[in-house]
C-alpha cells in the first residue's frame, strides 16, 4: 500500500513539491503519494497529526514552528539552523531535519560549478530558509556571513545560533551601503512574493559577485534583475535548490537518493511560468 507524504505551508497552491516527488517516485519505483496541504501557525500541528502522512516537507512560514513541534527530536543540522523543512513520523512523535542548506550548496557547487570557499557573503532575510542555508554556507567554507533582516532581532538570533562570532555578523538595513562589496549575495526574503524588492545599494556588487535568490520564476525576477543591473557576474534562482533539497528529503524517507538532473531540466523548461518556491 502507498505511504502518504505532503508539503505543509501557506501559500501552497503553486508548490512544485508534489510534482517533484511524483517524478522521484516514478524514477525509483517507490509507491507513495504526496499532496500539498495549506496550513498556518495556528492549525499546522492539528493538520499534520490528522493528515495520515508518515513524512512531510514544511515550507514558508512554518519551518520554525516545525522545529518547535519536534521538541528536540531533530538532526544536528536542524538543531543548528533552529528550523525544520523535513519531518518523519517517529512513533507518536515527529523527527525533524533540514535539507535546505545541503540543497543550496549542492546546487551552487555541483550544478553551477561555484567554489564557495573564501566568499564574503551577504544573506538578506533571517526566516526559516535563511536559518537552513546559513550553517551549510559556513560549512562550505565561505569567508564570512553578514545577515540583514527587517526584524533585527531575528538577524541577531540567527547569528547567535551559528556560534561563530568572528565569521557571522548581524547588520541593519540602513548600514548596507557602507558594508563594502560581497562575493556572494543571497536573497532569502519572501519580499518579492508581495512584488517588493528591499532597498539595495549598487556598491554591494563587484564584477566577480554571484547573486542567488532562493525563490524562482516570477518571484526571483526583481532581485536577479537588480543584480544583473548592478553588474553581478552570475545570477542563480532557487529552482535547483528546490530539486536538491527535495532529493535529500526523499533520501531520508526512502533510503534512496533520486537523480535530480532530469527533474531539474523538466522544471527549468517551464520555470518562467512558475510562481512560487517551497
- Which residues bind to ligand NDP, rule: CB under 6 A? 60-61, 63, 100, 103, 125-130, 149-151, 154, 188-191, 193-194, 196, 198, 214-215, 219, 238, 241-242, 245, 277-278
Please report the beta strands in 10-142, taking only residues with DSSP state E, as ranges in sequence order: 32-38, 55-58, 86-90, 93-97, 120-124
User: Residue 123 CB, nearest distance to ligand NDP (Å)?
Assistant: 10
Spell out the residues 6+ positions from residue 269 whose beta carbon is closer than 8 angstroms to its own: none
DSSP character at residue 74 = B
Known catalytic residue at 3: no
For ligand NDP, the closer CB: 138 or 236: 236
Edge-to-edge strand list for the sheet holding 55-58: 32-38, 3-9, 55-58, 86-90, 93-97
Does the annotation place 93 within a ligand binding site?
Answer: no
Considering 3, 26, 47, 63, which one is annotated as catalytic?
Answer: 63
Looking at the Cβ atoms of 13 and 92, the one nearer to ligand NDP is 13
Is 129 marked within a binding site?
yes
> Annotation-wise, does 51 bind a ligand?
no
Q: Residue 25 annotated as binding?
A: no
For the bound state, the minimum distance from the C-beta of residue 116 to ligand NDP, rounded and expressed in Å, comes to 17
Alpha-carbon distance 202 to 253, whole Å?
43
- Which of 209/215 has CB closer to ligand NDP? 215
Decide whether 96 or 125 has the Cβ nearer to ligand NDP. Answer: 125
- Residue number with CB closer to ligand NDP (79 or 243): 243
Q: Is 172 annotated as a binding residue?
A: no
In the complex, least distance from residue 169 CB atom to ligand NDP, rounded to whole angstroms: 16
DSSP type of residue 246: H
DSSP letter string over 8-19?
Answer: EESS-TT-SHHH
Q: Which residues contact 144 (CB under 8 A, 6 or more apart)?
A: 120, 121, 167, 168, 169
At its nearest, how many Å lie between ligand NDP and the CB of residue 131? Answer: 7
- The answer to the question of whether 17 is labelled as a binding residue is yes
CB of 106 to ligand NDP, least distance (A): 11
What residues are designated binding site for NADP(+)? Answer: 125-129, 214, 238
Catalytic residue numbers read 63
Q: Which residues are annotated as a binding site for shikimate?
A: 15-17, 59, 85, 100, 216, 245
Amino acid at each position: 500500500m502507498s505511504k502518504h507524504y505532503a508539503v505543509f505551508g501557506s501559500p501552497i497552491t503553486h508548490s512544485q513539491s508534489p510534482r517533484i516527488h511524483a517524478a522521484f517516485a516514478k524514477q525509483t519505483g517507490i509507491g507513495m503519494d504526496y499532496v500539498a496541504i495549506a496550513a498556518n501557525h495556528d492549525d499546522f500541528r492539528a493538520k499534520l497529526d490528522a493528515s495520515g502522512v508518515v513524512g512531510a516537507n514544511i515550507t514558508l512560514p512554518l519551518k520554525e514552528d516545525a522545529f518547535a513541534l519536534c521538541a528536540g527530536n531533530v538532526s544536528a543540522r536542524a538543531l543548528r539552523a533552529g528550523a525544520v523543512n523535513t519531518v518523519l513520523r517517529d512513533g507518536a512523535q515527529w523527527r525533524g531535519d533540514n535539507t535546505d542548506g545541503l540543497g543550496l550548496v549542492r546546487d551552487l557547487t555541483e550544478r553551477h560549478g561555484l567554489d564557495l570557499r573564501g566568499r564574503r557573503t551577504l544573506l538578506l532575510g533571517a526566516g526559516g530558509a535563511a536559518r537552513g542555508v546559513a550553517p551549510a554556507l559556513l560549512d562550505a567554507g565561505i569567508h564570512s556571513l553578514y545577515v540583514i533582516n527587517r526584524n533585527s532581532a531575528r538577524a541577531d538570533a540567527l547569528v547567535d545560533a551559528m556560534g561563530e562570532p568572528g565569521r557571522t555578523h548581524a547588520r541593519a538595513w540602513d548600514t548596507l551601503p557602507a558594508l563594502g562589496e560581497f562575493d556572494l549575495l543571497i536573497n532569502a526574503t519572501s519580499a518579492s512574493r508581495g512584488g517588493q524588492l528591499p532597498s539595495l545599494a549598487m556598491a554591494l556588487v563587484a564584477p566577480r559577485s554571484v547573486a542567488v535568490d532562493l525563490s524562482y520564476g516570477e518571484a526571483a525576477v526583481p532581485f536577479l534583475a537588480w543584480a544583473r543591473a548592478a553588474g553581478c557576474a552570475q545570477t542563480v534562482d532557487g529552482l535547483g535548490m528546490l530539486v536538491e533539497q527535495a532529493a535529500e528529503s526523499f533520501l531520508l524517507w526512502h533510503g534512496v537518493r533520486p537523480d535530480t538532473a532530469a527533474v531539474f531540466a523538466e522544471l527549468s523548461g517551464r520555470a518562467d511560468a512558475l510562481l512560487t518556491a517551497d
